[in-house]
Structure 1
Amino acid sequence: MSLSVDVFLVREDDGIRVLEVPDGCSDLAGFERWRTTVWGSQAVRSLGARFFPVLAGDDLRVDADQVRAFRRECAVLRENLEDIVAGVNPVTTAGKLLGQLSDRLANIEDAARRAEEVGGGVLIW
């Protein structure tokens, strides 16, 4: 299984409406095992991350008023990708993992940007 990243809007009944992924975008956020091995890893936690580690035990819902802080956290992870990879026991080569992680983080960053544009939130599940 894979983790997905989506943009959502809150409905009037406080439920959510997940928006369609636009053409040319991807909703891939990593492998299911990345909940603990990457996003919830000690390497990510040591960077001061507070959003991504939630994935180790649950889905991550970033409400609209938190998206800006979430985007800052994404930027910190982007700046430290090599350190994150160094802290992970890869199933593949470190170079391949670095590329996969960069691509999946780009998808998450794109979703966060789109969420901010529409006043929505981000869901990783």
Structure 2
Amino acid sequence: MSLSVDVYVPRAEGGIEVLDVPPGRSDAAGPEQWRTEVWGSEPVRSLGARFLPRLATEDLTVAPDEMPAFLAECALIRTQLARLAPALAPADAVSRRLDNIVDAARRASDIGGGIIIW
């Protein structure tokens, strides 16, 4: 199995609506083992990350009001990727998946939605 990142919008009557991935975009967030080996790893946690490490124990839902903090966490991970990657996975693989996650988070922010990584 693989992790996917999806954009959702809250429904007025409660619950959420998960949106389709637009053409030309990817929902790939990494292999399932990346829950612990990459996103929930000690090197990522050591940066002070609080969102992505939750994947080690559960699916991650980022609410619309949390999107700025989530995007800041992704930016922090990106700045440290060259240092982190040798302990995690190939830098280009992590970078591509992080690009997909950030793309989804930006799309969500643009429409007042959130994301789910599952």
1:117 aligns with 2:78: no
8 Å contact from structure 1 (residues 38, 84) kept in 2: no
Cα deviation for residue 4 of structure 1 reads 0.1
Cα deviation for residue 13 of structure 1 reads 3.1
Alignment of 1:1-125 (within 5 A): 1-88=1-88, 90=89, 97-125=90-118
* CA deviation map 1:61-94 (0-9, x unaligned): 0000000100000000111112221323x5xxxx
Give every structure 1 segment of 4 or more consecutive aligned residues whose post-TM-superposition deviation is greater than 3 Å. none
SS at match of 1:47: coil
CA distance in 1, matches of 2:84, 2:109: 26
8 Å contact from structure 1 (residues 52, 60) kept in 2: yes
Structure 1: unaligned runs, 5 residues or longer: 91-96
* CA deviation map 1:24-81 (0-9, x unaligned): 1000000000000000000000011000000000000000000010000000011111
Moved more, 75-84 or 56-65: 75-84
Identity %: 55
8 Å contact from structure 1 (residues 42, 87) kept in 2: no
- The alignment's TM-score, normalised by the length of structure 2, stands at 0.96
Q: How many residues align?
A: 118
CA distance in 2, matches of 1:83, 1:124: 24
SS at match of 2:94: helix
CA distance in 1, matches of 2:83, 2:39: 13
**RMSD of aligned Cα (Å):** 0.9
